[in-house]
Structure 1
Amino acid sequence: MSNRNDEIKISKFLSLVLRHQPETIGIELDENGWTEIDVLIEKSAKKGILINHHLLKHIVDTNSKKRFAINEAGNKIRANQGHSVEVELGYTAQEPPELLYHGTGQKSVEEIMRSGLDKRSRHHVHLSSDIKTAIDVGSRHGKPFVFEVLAGQMHRDKFEFFLSENKVWLTSHVPVRYLKEKH
């Protein structure tokens, strides 16, 4: 089996090619973000990244953030969310909890309080259902800051929410009026 550092390297590589730059290795994602596992393995090897079916399944199954999914037939893989390339993940709108959370770095708070939460180069704004996850996300961007998102009110005001396979709540934009400074 591979060591943990190899698994992290491959997971980051998969995030790159399945979420942002499939052209890096010459793969194509279908309209729902899926690509053939055999093609991924073959094209990755040509770039010096050695993956086999067993290792790929292990990474998908053990990824703490559940970033990837393998289809039921076991022949395709995709990222669950976070794409900057155009894909339709096939999620249906759902009613969110009354409150959701968004973690960011302290340095971004002022801008967010002016414009709200924007998806930027991604397809959606990512929200979590618990404060701890939001703090962890915010920590990636410096001193963490957590916004409370009035998701229930947004939903009643006709904003759509989706729940990804790895339990990240997604929406297209959060206007300032639905944000509260949590911490």
Structure 2
Amino acid sequence: MLGECEEHGYYRGESCPVCGEKGKFLMNDRELNSLGRIIAGVLRHFPEKLGIMIDGHGWVDITEFVEAIGLGRSGFHWLRNHHIEAIALTDPKGRYQIDGGMIRATYGHTIDISLDDLPEAEIDEFFYPVTEEEIDIILEGGLNPIDRRNVHLSGSIEKAIEAGKVRTDKPLILRIDGKKAKKDGIKIYHAGKDVYVTDRIDAKYLSKVDEKTLKKNMNGK
């Protein structure tokens, strides 16, 4: 469920996680999941399906977005701007940004946009999951975008393992020397709670996380 606490703002769940009050009902889980898929799909992959105008940095006018969803999808006659804002502001992965009546996804795009106005990463070490079959190729050729517009990095080994398990049960993890890369002019941007994006990473900045460290993080120790 998505709700709004009068004192603490939007929240996901049955009650406000701060004060425990059951605030104003905004939408149920089915509506939240359905609308969430539409928002992610349009902002990242297919704005043209709803006739949405998206600018060069991925921004969409929320009012126009609401109108387009109302016209293009059935069952959303109740949708208003604050519903979109509530989903974005409570997204557990921090995938969205809202500013001045506009919304955008901050990572995961397949459409051609620029994210060079995101804040630059403040950390100096990043991680990327790979399979056993591809690790040697990447260590030799570097990291390049595959099915998305940018290379997506994690800020911790744990998060990289989590991301890698989407593709394989036992991901191998690469360490990226972000300090050296940034010193050489490579721009790495902070795009989500633990997601960082860049155009590509040359092989000279990559190294394999050793098996002992990997097992330690996989076991949560």
TM-score higher than 0.5 here?
yes
TM-score scaled to structure 1, two decimals? 0.84
Structure 2 unaligned regions, length at least 5: 1-25, 215-221
Contact 1:67 1:81 in 2 (8 A): yes
Counterpart CA distance in 2 for 1:10 and 1:106 is: 37
Q: Which among 37, 56, 60 is matched to residue 62 of structure 2?
A: 37
Matches within 5 A, 1:104-143: 104-143=130-169
Q: 20-29 or 39-48, which moves further after superposition?
A: 39-48
Contact 1:104 1:145 in 2 (8 A): yes
Contact 2:59 2:102 in 1 (8 A): yes
Give the drift of 1:114: 3.9
Q: Find the residue that maps to 2:108 and give its secondary structure.
A: coil
Residues 49 and 136 (structure 1), Cα distance of their counterparts in 2 relative to 1, 3 Å cut: farther
Contact 1:68 1:79 in 2 (8 A): yes
Contact 1:37 1:77 in 2 (8 A): yes
Q: Find the residue that maps to 2:42 and give its secondary structure.
A: helix
Q: Structure 1, residues 21-78: CA drift from partner, whole Å, max 9, x if none? A: 100111110122111112211211222262432321221111111111221x3x2211
Residues 112 and 49 (structure 1), Cα distance of their counterparts in 2 relative to 1, 3 Å cut: farther
For the pair 1:64 / 2:89, whether they are aligned, the reply is no
Query: What's the counterpart of residue 176 of structure 2?
Result: 149
Query: What's the counterpart of residue 82 of structure 2?
Result: 54
Structure number, greater radius of gyration: 2
Residues 148 and 83 (structure 1), Cα distance of their counterparts in 2 relative to 1, 3 Å cut: same
Counterpart CA distance in 1 for 2:83 and 2:133 is: 38
| Equivalent AA in structure 2 for residue 91 of structure 1 | D
TM-score scaled to structure 2, two decimals? 0.71
For the pair 1:175 / 2:191, whether they are aligned, the reply is no
Q: Structure 1, residues 133-159: CA drift from partner, whole Å, max 9, x if none? A: 111111111223321111112222332
Q: 13-22 or 78-87, which moves further after superposition?
A: 78-87
Counterpart CA distance in 2 for 1:137 and 1:22 is: 26
Counterpart CA distance in 2 for 1:139 and 1:9 is: 25
Q: Which among 15, 18, 31 is matched to residue 6 of structure 1?
A: 31
Q: Greater helix share, 1 or 2?
A: 1
Counterpart CA distance in 1 for 2:40 and 2:119 is: 25
Structure 1 unaligned regions, length at least 5: none
Number of residues paired by the alignment? 181
Counterpart CA distance in 2 for 1:107 and 1:2 is: 44
Counterpart CA distance in 2 for 1:96 and 1:159 is: 13
| Equivalent AA in structure 2 for residue 128 of structure 1 | S
For the pair 1:16 / 2:41, whether they are aligned, the reply is yes
